[in-house]
Amino acid sequence: MSRTRVKICGITTKNDLAAVSAAGADAAGIITDVTVETPRSVTVERATQLVATASPFLSTVLVTMPNCVADAIDITGRVQPDVIQIHGEYDASELKQINESVTADVIAVVDAEMPSRARSVASVVDAILIDSVDTDGAGGTGHTHDWTTTAEIATMLDSPVILAGGLTPSNVKSAVQTVAPFGVDVASGVEDTGGSKDHDAVAAFINRATRVDIDTNNETERSIETTNTTDSSTEDSISATTPERNK
C-alpha cells in the first residue's frame, strides 16, 4: 500500500503552521511573490520566518510565480524552503536550470488541460502538480477538473504527480481512489476564511486522504484487522512513521 502525501497550502500564520504539522501533514505551502491577488500570500520576509519555524518533520514548500529563472533562483536562496513550487509557463530547459541551481526540490505546476506540457517537463523536475489553472497561470482556483483524465496523465509520467484543484474533506477520498496520486494539495478547501485554516477540516482532510489504499482503492482498516487477529494476551504495539523530507 502507498500512503498518499498531503500538502496544506496557503499557510500564513505560525498557529496554522503548527496545526497542520500536528494533524500529520507532510508539507506546508507558503505563498509569496505571486502576480495574482490572494489572501493566502505573505511577504518574502514572512515566508522566510515561517519556513524557519517549521517542524523538522514538515516539508516547507515555497509557492511562487517568479518573473524569470533568475528570480526563482534568488527567492529560493533567500527563503530556504525544502521545495519550490513554480507557477508559470516555464519550459523544460528553464526548469532544468532552476533545478540545477537550487538545493530545494522543484515542483512544476501544470494545467490539467495541458497534458503535453506535463510530459515535456516531467523529466527535469522532482514532481508535477496538476491543478485547475486560471488565465493568469495561477492555481488555487478552488475548482476541480476531470480526475479520470488526470489519472491517465499520471500513468504516463515517471515523476510523482500531486493532485490539486477544488479538493475538500468531502471529495478527497474519491479523488485519491480515482487518480492514485503521489500526493494531494489543498488550500481553500480547509479554510474558515481566506488565509485562515479550519483546523478540524485540516485534520479530516488528512485522515481521509491518507486512509485510502491507492493500490486496491479500499479504505484501510489496519488497526481493526490487527485487533481481530492478535491474541488478547499480546501487548499492544504502536508504530509511528514520519514524513520524508525533501532535499
- pLDDT tens-digit readout, 176-216: 999 999 999 999 999 998 889 999 999 999 999 999 865 54
Query: Is pLDDT above 90 for 244?
Result: no
pLDDT of residue 225: 43
**Averaged pLDDT score across all residues of the chain:** 86
Q: What is the pLDDT averaged over residues 140-166?
A: 87
27-66 tens-digit pLDDT: 999 999 999 889 999 999 999 999 999 999 999 999 999 9
DSSP letter, residue 189: G
Answer for the pair 190, 205: CB distance below 8 angstroms, yes or no.
yes
Report the C-alpha gap between 10 and 191 in whole angstroms.
10
Residue 221: partners with Cβ closer than 8 Å, 6 or more residues away: none
Question: Which has the minimum average pLDDT: 100-104, 114-118, 140-144, 222-226?
Answer: 222-226
Query: Is pLDDT above 60 for 224?
Result: no
Query: Is pLDDT above 80 for 100?
Result: yes
pLDDT of residue 134: 52
CATH number for 5-225 (one of 2.40.50.100, 3.30.360.10, 3.40.50.300, 3.20.20.70): it is 3.20.20.70
DSSP secondary structure string for all residues of 85-126:
EE-S---HHHHHHHHHH-SSEEEEEEETT-HHHHHHHGGGSS
Q: What is the pLDDT averaged over residues 79-95?
A: 97
Q: What is the pLDDT averaged over residues 121-143?
A: 75
pLDDT of residue 81: 98
